[in-house]
Amino acid sequence: MSFGQGGPSWGPGGTQTPDWAALADESAARKRRKRWLLIGGGVLATAAIGAIVATAVISTNKNNSSGKHASELPAPTDLPNETAEPEPSFSSVAPPPPPNPKDYISSARKDRAPITVDAFFPGRKLTMGDRVYVKGATQQTKNCAATTKGALGSILVNNGCDQVVRATYSKDGVAVTVGLAVFPTEAQAKKAAQQSSGSIATLSGAGVPAFCPPGSVCRRTANSYGRYAYFAISGFTSGKSVTTADKNVYATGDDLTNFTFRQIHRRGELQASAAATAQTG
């Protein structure tokens, strides 16, 4: 068998073998052309579908913009321009400050609560921490000088003392008498305490023997708060003199003067609270 000029010749009687490499290349080329045709067709199909979808979306939007389907969308909520509820209002006037308790114990004009022994020294005992004191004799008098020893009487009188309340407490052989002198104003009470000389007189009785006899040494203190000056004398019921080493005498005197201060301050708090209630009532 023979082919045209330049062509291969093979077969049973042929003298040449086929060029297998060339045949393989030609077959591979045909497969590649077929694959690219398929891919190209797919891309074109995808592009065509995308164009159709886009056209449909645009068409739908045009139809909606024309109002064809506007009734299917929810309408916005209508909000009123004004509300019927009243707006909160605030007073431009600031409330008055709470009364100062000290104002009510600084002058007789505002300090109107009754002055009694029980108002300042209530009960039969006084507890300060773990220390318990028994109350002895008490006294209230307008004769201020009669409650003193030494120069203190004239000092109280000269500064306008109205009255003196005294109370005695004792514990473990130590006794203290506190004298609370009342004045019309804070300035007068402060001056009396600053000028203090001599002492308040001890007050025995009601279970407490006489203490601080003449010639003995006792501890004396003087203080003031508001229109009240308060004086204390502390010593042994045995009559012996007090030294700086006798801490129990100092502790007893400090407890009683601290308690007296608290009672005066509490008096101011009670009257200030009553005034605040009357203002808001």
CA nearest to 273, candidates 134, 101, 115, 144 = 101
Question: Do the Cβ atoms of 224 and 195 come closer than 8 Å?
Answer: no
Question: Do the Cβ atoms of 229 and 223 come closer than 8 Å?
Answer: yes
HSE-CB at 189 with a 13 A cutoff on CA atoms is 24
How is residue 267 written in tokens? 């008096």
pLDDT tens-digit readout, 234-275: 999 999 999 999 999 999 999 999 999 999 999 999 999 998
Distance from C-alpha of 239 to C-alpha of 218, rounded to nearest angstrom: 9
- Positive or negative CA dihedral for 241, 246, 252, 253? positive
pLDDT of 77 over the 80 cut: no
pLDDT of 190 over the 60 cut: yes
pLDDT tens-digit readout, 165-179: 999 999 999 999 999
Distance from C-alpha of 250 to C-alpha of 214, rounded to nearest angstrom: 20
Distance from C-alpha of 127 to C-alpha of 123, rounded to nearest angstrom: 11
Question: Do the Cβ atoms of 111 and 266 come closer than 8 Å?
Answer: no
Q: What is the mean pLDDT of residues 19-28?
A: 57
Distance from C-alpha of 207 to C-alpha of 135, rounded to nearest angstrom: 9
Question: Do the Cβ atoms of 187 and 265 come closer than 8 Å?
Answer: no
Phi, psi (degrees; rounded to nearest 5) at 127? -110, 125
Q: How confident is the model at residue 84 (pLDDT cuts 50, 70, 90)?
A: low
Distance from C-alpha of 99 to C-alpha of 95, rounded to nearest angstrom: 12
Counting residues of the chain whose pLDDT is more than 90, the rounded percentage is 62
Residue 31, pLDDT score = 61
